[in-house]
Amino acid sequence: MKTWPGSAYPLGATFDGNGTNFALFSEVAEKVELCLFDDAGAETRVELIEVDAYVWHAYLPQIQPGQKYGYRVYAPYDPKSGSRSNPSKLLLDPYAKATSGQIDWDQALFSYNFGDPDSENNDDSAPHMMMGVVINPFFDWAGDRHPRVPYAQSVIYEAHVKGLTELHPGIPDEIRGTYSAVAHPVIIEHLQKLGVTAIELMPVHQFVDDSTLVEKGLHNYWGYNTIGFFAPQNTYSASGDRGQQVQEFKGMVRALHSAGIEVILDVVYNHTAEGNHLGPTLSFKGIDNAAYYRLVDKTPEYYMDYTGTGNSMNVSNPHSLQLIMDSLRYWVTEMHVDGFRFDLAAALAREFYDVDRLAAFFELVQQDPIVSQVKLIAEPWDVGPGGYQVGNFPPLWTEWNGKYRDTVRDFWRGEPSTLGEFAERITGSSDLYEHEGRRPVASINFVTAHDGFTLADLVSYDEKHNDANGENGQDGESTNRSANYGVEGPTTDPAIQAIRSRQQRNFLATLMISQGVPMILHGDELGRTQAGNNNGYAQDNELTWVHWDEADSSLIEFTAAVTRLRKEHPSFRRSRFFDGRPVVRGAGEPLPDLVWLQPDAAVMAPEDWDSGFGRSIAMFLNGNGIGTRDQRGEPITDVHFLVLFNAHTDVVEFTLPADEYAELWEIVVDTAGVQADSQPRGPGAVIPVEARSLMVLRQHIPTEADNDHSVAASLTVLTGSTADDTSSAQPEMAG
Active site residues: 343, 379
CA distance 663 to 656: 10
Question: Which is nearest to 362 in space by CA: 347, 353, 555, 354?
Answer: 347
CA distance 263 to 108: 38
CA distance 514 to 182: 28
Omega prior to 10 cis, within 30 of 0: yes
Q: Give the three-class secondary structure for 4.
A: strand
664: Cβ contacts below 8 Å, ≥ 6 apart: 680, 681, 682, 699, 700, 702
Distance from chain centroid for Cα 501: 25
H-assigned helices in 169-243: 179-182, 185-194, 211-215
Question: Which is nearest to 227 in space by CA: 277, 275, 160?
Answer: 275
CA distance 403 to 409: 10
CA distance 43 to 556: 54
CA distance 527 to 454: 8
Q: Determine how many CB atoms are found less than 10 A away from the CB of residue 417.
A: 13
Question: Which is nearest to 86 in space by CA: 74, 78, 103?
Answer: 74
* Cβ contact 180:542 at 8 Å: no
Tell me the CA distances in angstroms from 270 to 160, 248, 359, one per residue in order.
20, 27, 14
H/E segment holding residue 360: helix 360-367
| Residue 654: strand pairing partners | 687
The amino acid occupying position 676 is A
DSSP string, 139-162: ---TT-------GGG--EEEE-HH
Query: Alpha-carbon Rg of the chain, whole angstroms?
Result: 28
CA distance 644 to 453: 27
* Cβ contact 83:24 at 8 Å: no
H/E segment holding residue 258: helix 244-258
Q: Determine how many CB atoms are found less than 10 A away from the CB of residue 111.
A: 25
3-state secondary structure 422-450: HHHHHCCCHHHHHHHCCCHHHEEECCCCC
Question: Which is nearest to 500 in space by CA: 465, 454, 452?
Answer: 454
Distance from chain centroid for Cα 191: 16
Q: Give the three-class secondary structure for 710.
A: coil
Tell me the CA distances in angstroms from 139 to 401, 540, 546, 575, one per residue in order.
37, 32, 32, 37
Helix, strand, coil abundance in the chain, percent, nearest 5? 25, 20, 55
Question: Which is nearest to 456 in space by CA: 555, 558, 536?
Answer: 555
* Cβ contact 666:648 at 8 Å: no
> How many residues in total does the chain contain?
735
Exposed, middle or buried, 20 (CB in 10 Å: 0-12/13-18/19+)? buried
